């Protein structure tokens, strides 16, 4: 909801625009940010000027637009180092593949990249590029590297592109960027001084040296929660099964493979924990014996002898000095009923239920929808949103609950 009438001090943001076709959306983005009480200063890279005019941006931002590193007049008014110190946030939208690569390597060959090197402001990027450029492994590696340094990455979205291709690479819409910036800037240090242990991703149960049992968990939900908890001031340990996501900044990552390893890591990490969040999709069963050699396919059918894995979440909840315990439930039917049963059986404080029968939600998706059910019978629906947004909402919800705990 736009909010330009409250008495809170304005949040200072540099909007850095790099040279992509989505730059034409930036006057609208400036307007949306200003509606949300941001004080916006725009910095253009030289190629961005091919797609959007400084005049339009100056008119909507109400401030002069910064373009040159060594501009006498600008330096006299607000020099690039002063600008770098002024900002609370630097948002790059659109962020091209080229600019993303420069950020990774600390290159400072234009005003925007120079400011970023000289600034301690939190960095947020909204990538936009051709779908093949986005899929390129160099770009993916660069994005992973930025995320591991704590840079927020918004999008990109999928759809038809200006070049005629269809795929992932469109800048997310200005309204979404502005809403995400508002959520980021309003997140308070609500878990300051708290210790949080989170499980994420799948577990992988070996059958033989090449085969395994696992599931489609990507780790996106759990990693987003770890980032949100860290940003909320918590001391976070993330016990993660194998995923393709870089470790979040300032989070202790404990990498595991099997459920047994996850259990051992949780036992070690969870001493004196204030909050435990089980977001991992832990395999319920594991082979009784792991074959030492690759199993030969001699028969038409084969049977695997499986045994139950330890229930990590239930173990944490059983401890005499237990933390606030949050579980997840991924259900394809009877969402509330099955989730409530898990809440009660595992003696949880809170369960976050996701309906995995909905397309593009739950496992290996960017978005989710969660029904939060607590042990006192309260329920809260968190409507469909990016996992990063939901993670912030979950952390806020937990912070409210433990203040009454
Ligand atoms: O990783 P993503 O692709 O982002 O997807 C996120 C998710 C769908 C995996 C996540 O949101 C989610 O729902 N995780 C829980 C999956 C699930 O169905 O868990 P479960 O019903 O098997 O277990 C319920 C709870 O007990 C979970 O908190 C689970 O972590 C925990 N559990 C289960 C079994 C076990 N042996 N030990 C456990 O701790």
Nearest atom in ligand 1 to the alpha carbon of residue 218 is: 3
Ligand 1 in reach of 220 Cβ (< 6 A): yes
Q: How far apart are CA 18 and CA 91, in angstroms?
A: 11
**Helix H or strand E encompassing 133:** helix 131-135
First to last CA, the chain: 31
Q: Which residues of the chain have pLDDT under 70?
A: 1-7, 72, 74-78, 148, 405
Task: Pick the closest to residue 197 from 258, 238, 250 (CA basis).
Answer: 238
Q: Provide CATH 3.40.50.10300 ranges for the chain.
A: 195-402
CA of 227 to the centre of ligand 1 (A): 18
Ligand 1 atom 13: the closest Cα is on which residue? Answer: 330
Residues sharing a CB contact under 8 Å with residue 338, sequence separation 6 or more, in sequence order: 329, 331, 353
CA of 217 to the centre of ligand 1 (A): 9
Fold of 11-186: Rossmann fold (3.40.50)
Ligand 1 in reach of 202 Cβ (< 6 A): no
Q: Which of 198, 227, 313, when mutated, tests ligand 1's pocket best, judged by the most ligand atoms within 8 Å of its CB?
A: 313
The whole-number pLDDT of residue 77 equals 66
The whole-number pLDDT of residue 162 equals 85
Q: Which of 201, 218, 281, when mutated, tests ligand 1's pocket best, judged by the most ligand atoms within 8 Å of its CB?
A: 281
* Structure token pair of residue 347: 């003696």
Task: Pick the closest to residue 326 from 282, 374, 373, 277 (CA basis).
Answer: 277
Ligand 1 in reach of 221 Cβ (< 6 A): yes
The whole-number pLDDT of residue 300 equals 93
Q: Provide CATH 3.40.50.1950 ranges for the chain.
A: 11-186
Fold of 195-402: Rossmann fold (3.40.50)
Ligand 1 in reach of 197 Cβ (< 6 A): no
Nearest atom in ligand 1 to the alpha carbon of residue 314 is: 39
Q: What letter does residue 327 receive in the DSSP assignment?
A: E
Q: Which of 330, 334, 339, when mutated, tests ligand 1's pocket best, judged by the most ligand atoms within 8 Å of its CB?
A: 330
The whole-number pLDDT of residue 149 equals 73
Q: How far apart are CA 63 and CA 54, in angstroms?
A: 10
**Helix H or strand E encompassing 381:** strand 379-386
Phi, psi of 194 (to 5 degrees): -90, 150
Which residue among 163, 279, 352, 358 is the active-site one?
163
Q: Where are the alpha helices (DSSP H) in 173-219?
A: 174-186
The whole-number pLDDT of residue 1 equals 45
Q: Is residue 352 annotated as part of the catalytic site, yes or no?
A: no
Ligand 1 in reach of 342 Cβ (< 6 A): yes
């Amino acid at each position: 909801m736009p909010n330009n009438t409250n008495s809170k001090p304005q949040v200072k943001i540099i909007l850095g625009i790099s040279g992509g076709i989505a730059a034409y959306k930036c006057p609208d983005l400036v307007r949306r940010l200003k509606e949300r009480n941001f004080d916006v200063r725009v910095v253009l890279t030289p190629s961005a000027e091919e797609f959007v005019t400084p005049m339009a941006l100056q008119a909507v931002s109400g401030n002069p637009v910064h373009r040159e590193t060594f501009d006498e007049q600008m330096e006299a008014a607000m020099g690039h180092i002063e600008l770098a110190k002024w900002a609370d946030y630097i948002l790059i939208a659109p962020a091209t593949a080229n600019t993303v690569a420069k950020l990774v390597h600390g290159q400072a060959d234009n005003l925007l990249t120079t400011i970023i090197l000289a600034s301690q402001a939190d960095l947020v990027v909204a990538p936009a590029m051709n779908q093949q450029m986005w899929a390129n492994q160099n770009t993916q590696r660069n994005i992973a590297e930025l995320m591991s340094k704590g840079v927020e990455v918004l999008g990109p979205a999928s759809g038809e592109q200006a070049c005629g291709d269809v795929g992932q690479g469109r800048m997310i819409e200005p309204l979404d960027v502005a809403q995400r910036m508002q959520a980021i800037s309003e997140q308070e240090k609500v878990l300051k001084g708290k210790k949080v242990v989170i499980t994420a991703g799948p577990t992988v149960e070996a059958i033989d040296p090449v085969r395994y049992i696992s599931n489609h968990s990507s780790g996106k939900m759990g990693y987003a929660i770890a980032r949100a908890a860290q940003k909320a001031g918590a001391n976070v340990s993330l016990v993660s099964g194998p995923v393709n996501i870089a470790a979040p900044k300032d989070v202790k990552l404990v990498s595991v493979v099997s459920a047994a390893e996850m259990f051992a890591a949780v036992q070690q990490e969870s001493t004196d924990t204030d909050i435990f969040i089980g977001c991992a999709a832990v395999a319920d069963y594991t082979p009784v014996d792991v074959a030492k050699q690759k199993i030969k396919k001699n028969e038409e059918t084969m049977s695997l002898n499986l045994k139950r894995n330890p229930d990590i979440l239930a173990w944490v909840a059983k401890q005499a000095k237990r933390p606030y315990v949050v579980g997840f439930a991924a259900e394809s039917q009877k969402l509330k009923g099955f989730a409530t049963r898990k809440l009660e059986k595992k003696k949880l404080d809170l369960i976050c239920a996701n309906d995995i029968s909905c397309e593009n939600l739950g496992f290996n998706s960017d978005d989710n929808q969660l029904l939060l059910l607590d042990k006192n019978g309260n329920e809260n629906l968190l409507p469909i949103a990016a996992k990063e947004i939901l993670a912030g909402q979950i952390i806020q919800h937990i912070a409210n609950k433990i203040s009454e705990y």
